[in-house]
Amino acid sequence: MADLVTVILAAGKGTRMKSAHPKVLHKVCGKEMVRHVLDAAVEVGSKRNIVVVGFGADEVRKALDGNAEVVVQEEQLGTGHAVLQTEPLLQETKGTVMVLCGDTPLLTSNLLRKLYEEHEKVGAKATVLTAIVPDATGYGRVIRTAAGDVEKIVEHKDATEDERKVREVNAGIYCFEKKALFSALANVGCENAQGEYYLPDVLSILRNQGEKIWAVAADDFEETLGVNSRIHLAQAEKILRRRKNLELMENGVTLMDPKSTFIDTDVVVGRDTVIYPFTWLEGKTSAGEGCILGPSSRFTDVKIGNGVTAHFVYAHECEIEAGATMGPFVHIRPNSQIGKNVKIGNFVEVKNSNIGEGSKLPHLQYIGDCDMGTNVNMGCGTITVNYDGKTKFRTKIGNGAFVGCNSNLVAPVSVGDDAYIAAGSTITKDVPAKELAVARARQKNIPNWPDKRN
């Protein structure tokens, strides 16, 4: 497919979404719709990918993050007009141009490959992907001749009552021979219900010129779902989540209740990991093998090693190394690195900190801006005092240190290797290695207190 070029239409506002943002940037399964479409094109082997942007162009360009060429359609005059904007970029191109819509996130590369291969095999000038849908409202209808050949595509708003009864629809996905595409586009008019230049008109124009046009029917209409409203968005979300869950289960991941497990498209999970209900794995999260994740946990952009146990945890933009156990009720905030076999117990928050291998934070800690060594024991209720109201400071705790319950470590401060801190201390000065720091008032007992009180 060396010569395959893909054009993705993504300039429309998506009025029916009632959103301040371009439609194609709404996410399905954690990824913008236009990125789903682009990824499918790349997977099929398309080397050159051009996205037509318009409404919210800068926002779309940013989301594409340099992964596609971008061309601007200043005024959105229809899908035919949108494709026309790519003509200057495709001067040198020969062969096939695949056109996709940025609002069909359920497309798979298998389906695109089928479309492309059949287009090439048949030697058509234009091939459209069609689907039989239960509810064709809003779609362009595929009108066939008595012999079964595609005659034209009629938009919902332009269709007669009889045509509206047709349930075979245009999926908005096509392969064209490049020269034929642009010569036909030059003849597309805008005399229709929406006053727009319709890309599907290219098919009937070519047909009337005696050229071969072709249609490929998708086996599964779900793949071609075009998202035009929040209701469609929710439908797409449900389908893609189910697809992701099935893929993981087929690869050896146990989902205790797939319906209440929410895993984004690009997430990776190793075999023998068990995921309990009400758990979200989002964004670029990856989990190793043999983990137990959830219930009621959320991981966003987290790298999770093998054999991690985490229940009732919210972790984001951090790394949790192999064998760590955490929860219930733990919050791991960005830029944190939780080392191997670390134990984090109930009601603990960690932020921007490194926790060394084998350290224990069993209950009620706030650890912020801290570099903690290995095998440290943090007593219940110990906290780092990292903020003086203006500036954040770091705390350093050496290997094997033992920090007594309810201690405050006022940063910047450093606790040496194998040092001890007496319970209830407020530490403001560095503690050298192997020393015991006691920083609290001495206890005084007063006898016969009830008598003295009176």
Q: Which does 78 bind (CB under 5 to 8 A by kind): Ca ion, ligand UD1, none?
A: ligand UD1
CB of 79 to ligand UD1, least distance (A): 3
Can 363 be counted among the known catalytic residues? Answer: yes
CB of 210 to ligand UD1, least distance (A): 23
Nearer to ligand UD1, 52 or 427 (CB): 52
Nearer to ligand UD1, 24 or 44 (CB): 24
CB of 235 to ligand UD1, least distance (A): 13
Q: 312 vs 278, 299, 358, CA distance in Å?
A: 10, 11, 21
Nearer to ligand UD1, 228 or 261 (CB): 228
Nearer to ligand UD1, 229 or 346 (CB): 229
Q: Which does 198 bind (CB under 5 to 8 A by kind): ligand UD1, Ca ion, none?
A: ligand UD1
Tokens of 302: 């987290």
> From the candidates 156, 316, 331, 363, which is the catalytic residue?
363
Q: What does residue 392 show for φ and ψ, rounded to 5 degrees?
A: -95, 140
Told to check if 226 binds Ca ion by CB under 5 A, we report: yes
Residue 59 CB contacts under 8 Å (≥ 6 apart), including other chains: 21, 22, 25
Tell me the C-alpha distance between 41 and 102, whole Å. Answer: 11
* Piece of the chain touching Ca ion by CB under 5 A; list 220-228, 247-255, 263-271, 425-433: 220-228
Q: Are strands 408-410 and 383-385 parallel, antiparallel or unpaired?
A: parallel
Tokens of 161: 């009552």
Told to check if 379 binds Ca ion by CB under 5 A, we report: no
Q: Which does 79 bind (CB under 5 to 8 A by kind): ligand UD1, Ca ion, none?
A: ligand UD1
Q: Which residue number has the CB closest to Ca ion? A: 226
Cβ atoms of 225 and 33 closer than 8 Å: no
List of residues contacting ligand UD1 (CB under 6 A): 9-12, 24, 52, 54, 73, 76-79, 81-82, 101-103, 139-140, 153, 155, 169-172, 198-200, 226, 228
| Strands in 306-432 per DSSP E | 309-310, 313-320, 325-326, 330-332, 336-338, 343-351, 354-355, 360-368, 370-372, 377-378, 383-385, 395-397, 402-403, 408-410, 413-415, 420-421, 426-427
Tell me the C-alpha distance between 425 and 405, whole Å. Answer: 8
Q: Which does 169 bind (CB under 5 to 8 A by kind): ligand UD1, Ca ion, none?
A: ligand UD1
CB of 350 to ligand UD1, least distance (A): 42
CB of 16 to Ca ion, least distance (A): 9
Q: Are strands 336-338 and 313-320 parallel, antiparallel or unpaired?
A: parallel
Q: Nearest 5 degrees, angle CA 333-CA 334-CA 336?
A: 85
Q: Which does 372 bind (CB under 5 to 8 A by kind): Ca ion, ligand UD1, none?
A: none
Nearer to Ca ion, 38 or 253 (CB): 38
| CA dihedral (22, 28, 33, 299) positive or negative | positive
Told to check if 368 binds Ca ion by CB under 5 A, we report: no
CB of 146 to ligand UD1, least distance (A): 22
State the DSSP code for 213.
E
CB of 22 to Ca ion, least distance (A): 13
Tell me the C-alpha distance between 169 and 266, whole Å. Answer: 30
Q: Which residue number has the CB closest to ligand UD1? A: 140
Site for Ca ion in 335-364 (CB under 5 A): none
Nearer to Ca ion, 139 or 176 (CB): 139
Tell me the C-alpha distance between 112 and 78, whole Å. Answer: 23
Site string for Ca ion, 76-105 (x = CB under 5 A): ---------------------------x--
- The tally of CA atoms less than 13 A away on the side-chain side of residue 440 is 17
* Other residues' Cβ atoms within 10 Å of the Cβ of residue 327: 22
Q: Which does 139 bind (CB under 5 to 8 A by kind): ligand UD1, Ca ion, none?
A: ligand UD1
* Other residues' Cβ atoms within 10 Å of the Cβ of residue 325: 18
Q: Which does 400 bind (CB under 5 to 8 A by kind): ligand UD1, Ca ion, none?
A: none
Interface positions with Ca ion (CB under 5 A): 103, 226, 228
Q: What residues are labeled active site?
A: 363
